[in-house]
Structure 1
Amino acid sequence: MIFGLPIHPLVVHAAVILMPAAALAALVMSYLPSFSRRYGKLVLGVSILGLISLFAARWSGEKLQEIVGVEIERHQNWGNLTPFISIPLVALIYIRWRMDREGANIGSPAIRRSVSILLVLAALISLVYVALSGHSGAELVWGWVSKN
């Protein structure tokens, strides 16, 4: 709690902004080495902050559920998996950035292509999990609006 308010809504907003932003930037990194060279360090930083916020959202969601006592199984399932699903994305952003750095001569074309493919897959999977987790949480909070 912060000032008597649950922390979960605060960290959730960070998670649903930072992680998708990092995932979208990772898609660009996978195709444009010049983007990776110029912005890779920034994208890595955003992805790390996004991952931290995903774990914080998971932790704070568990604490909020204890207080509220509402059964949130679907949202909880997505929320429990999402931080772990996003770890490979952060790792692959780091690898891609290191491969594309100025003066770096790392990896054969096949390895670079494989890293790009894995980066795209990790970015898309992370986007889907963040979206499903966020949407299921939004339905819990705001679902009553659409029913009225």
Structure 2
Amino acid sequence: MFDTIMGLPVHILVIHAVVVLGPIAALLALAYAVRPAWRDRLRLPLILGAVATGLSGFVAGESGEQLEHRLQAAGGNDAAAMALLHEHTEAGDLAKVLCLVFMVVVLGVVYFLLPATKPARSKALGMLGAAAMILVSCAAIVSIAITGHTGAKSAWADQVVATQGATTTGGGD
């Protein structure tokens, strides 16, 4: 189920949703937590973003496991490449969990601790909800960034090394 779609790895297709939607949803959660006046306007986009982040993070993690098994079965003999892949897989496992935790925390806080339409149940619970949302949002952003970086390194490091020293025309730093 999480292996391929029309011959392409599901992982490659879905990671872009996590990399884009995850940080956007986390930024919305941060704004929701610290700007009570914005909560009414942010509620629906935050809920949709949190669910999209949780689901796409889960699918990316599961499809990444399938892709890793496919690459190992194809004869991943390059120890350096397999080490990079393992580093990415470990980071991805954490990111998958944090995306799901982010979704659950956001939904819980939005519906129970800091609802947009009425005051928080209590000041202490409201502050606890805001703190939880801030913490899990920051953790999700960092985890997604680390996972994306290790994934890009795993996929592209050998191609970039192979082009070093080659002459290029145009572009550059």
TM-score (norm 2): 0.78
Alignment partner, residue 75 of structure 1 = 88
Asked which structure has the greater RCO (Cα within 8 Å, sep 6+), the reply is: 1
Q: Could you say what the CA RMSD is over the residues aligned between the two structures, in angstroms?
A: 1.6
After superposition, residues 1-148 of structure 1 pair within 5 angstroms as 1-69=4-72, 70=76, 71=82, 72-98=85-111, 99-102=114-117, 104-147=118-161, 148=164
State the 1:20 CA deviation: 1.1
Figure out how many residues of one structure are paired with residues of the other and give that number: 147
More helix by share: 1
Letter in 1 for 2:37: S
Aligned residues with identical type, % of pairs: 27
Q: Is the 8 A contact 2:11 2:67 kept in 1?
A: yes
Letter in 2 for 1:100: P
State the 1:92 CA deviation: 2.7
Matched residues in 1 for 2:21 and 2:136: separation? Answer: 15
Give the greater-gyration-radius structure (CA).
2
1:13-43 CA distance string (max 9 Å, x none): 1111111111111111111123221121221
State the 1:57 CA deviation: 0.8
Matched residues in 2 for 1:54 and 1:94: separation? Answer: 16
Q: Is the 8 A contact 1:29 1:96 kept in 2?
A: no
Letter in 2 for 1:133: T
Runs of 4+ more than 4 Å apart: none
What residue ranges of structure 2 are gaps of 5+ in the alignment? 77-81, 165-173
State the 1:145 CA deviation: 4.4
State the 1:120 CA deviation: 0.7
State the 1:62 CA deviation: 1.4
TM-score (norm 1): 0.90
Cα gap change, 1:92/1:67 in structure 2, threshold over 3 Å: closer, same or farther? closer
Q: Is the 8 A contact 2:88 2:150 kept in 1?
A: yes
State the 1:11 CA deviation: 0.5
